[in-house]
Amino acid sequence: MEIQTLKQRFGIIGNSTLLDRAIDIARQVAPTDISVFIMGESGTGKEVFPKIVHQLSARKHGSYIAVNCGAIPEGTIDSELFGHEKGSFTGAHEARKGYFEVANGGTIFLDEVAELPLSTQVRLLRVLETGEFFKVGSSKVIKTDVRIVAATNINIPEAIADGKFRQDLFYRLNTVPIYVPPLRERKDDIYLLFRKFAADFAEKYRMPQLQLDEHAVSMLSNYHWDGNIRQLKNTTEQISIIEEQRDINEVILQKYLPGGIGNDLPVLYNKGKEKEDFSERDILYKVLFDMKKDINELKKVVVDILESESLENGSENNAQLIKQLYQDTKSDSSEPNKIEIQQRLDENDGGPIHHSEVLEESLSLQKKEIDMIRMALEKHKGKRKNAANELGISERTLYRKIKEYNIK
């Protein structure tokens, strides 16, 4: 069957080469019994492709069941897919057939398959490998002949790395992958889809059809469309209902596009689980540098107070000397302590300074690290495991640092 004929049969709108490629793969793989894995963002129309695969296969007279794996509670998903025996769990008043038993000889479309619990993924893998499964609460093996088409909108390699999706299951499902492109990768199709939706809503609500001017068409085509076809359809319906004016310009359209245009620029995205790859030394350095900044600010406050007191007491020489000492401490790691400042002020005949304090602080990062390790070891009476937990590092790292710094 030709691609254009398939588009008309299944209501697919668009002339993108990426879209045509996806349809062509579905058409070629349909007569076989191999598993198909459909990947694409939410709202791209992935649900159409399992129907193409089923209707063009030898199973077209069998059952076709679409299951949204993300919409079924974790506690009942096994029962929904594989069925259960009477009394197998609370509320199981009678035996029930699952989708894999009902769809025997047909096709099951598992949408959002990555949402399945790991225990259910193991059961699904068994069905793919042997065509067998157990009902919940039963030890009797049931055979089934079902073709599985799966789909997801998440990054599967990331889910595998995070331990949320089994790698062996992915390989079994991903025999033939089909990629459904988002709207931003098929910009020429956006206006075609808008016109189709506008015509449908004009007929539904019995009103004149929306018309876009040239600038509005350009804005529509260059918008990012995070929600893809679903978002475009909803936006078209909003404009159709709310706007009395049927000729839509870019000013009117702008009100219905969150964030406006320019959203198709590359962005750095981290899936909600933001991770910072800092080593223990990096974290320690950051803490120490923050301490250094706080100490310098504190010393400045102390010096300002000393200077103010010295000026009030008529000792301008003391004030100038204190200023010079503060400048020295900013560039020299060997900072004078309280006694040294007092001695130099006494030598300058400025008289003693009372009720003041200059902090002495060693800013050697290595010394700080050694001190912290010693304190942790003393606190936990030499128990390295507890000391490592206190420091937020591994026991192995602590052992290496003890050896490196020769800490007794």
Contacts of 119 (CB under 8 A, 6+ apart): 78
Q: What's the pLDDT at 398?
A: 82
Strand partners for 357: none
pLDDT of amino acid 350: 47
Low-confidence ranges of the chain (pLDDT < 50): 262-278, 331-336, 338, 350-362
CB 50 within 8 A of CB 10: no
CB 194 within 8 A of CB 232: yes
* Residue 380: per-residue pLDDT: 85
Which letter, b or e, does each residue of 30-47 get, where b requires 16 or more Cβ atoms within 10 Å of its Cβ? beeeebbbbbbbbbbbbe
Q: In whole angstroms, how far apart are CA 65 and each of 76, 81, 106, 332, 345?
A: 17, 11, 8, 76, 90
Give the pLDDT of residue 401: 83
Euclidean distance between CA atoms 391 and 408, whole angstroms: 17
Whole-model pTM: value is 0.63
Residue 143 is predicted with a pLDDT of 96
Residue 347's pLDDT is 54
The neighbour count for residue 331, using CB atoms within 10 Å, is 6
Q: What is the pLDDT of residue 152?
A: 95
Task: Give the model's pLDDT for residue 204.
Answer: 94
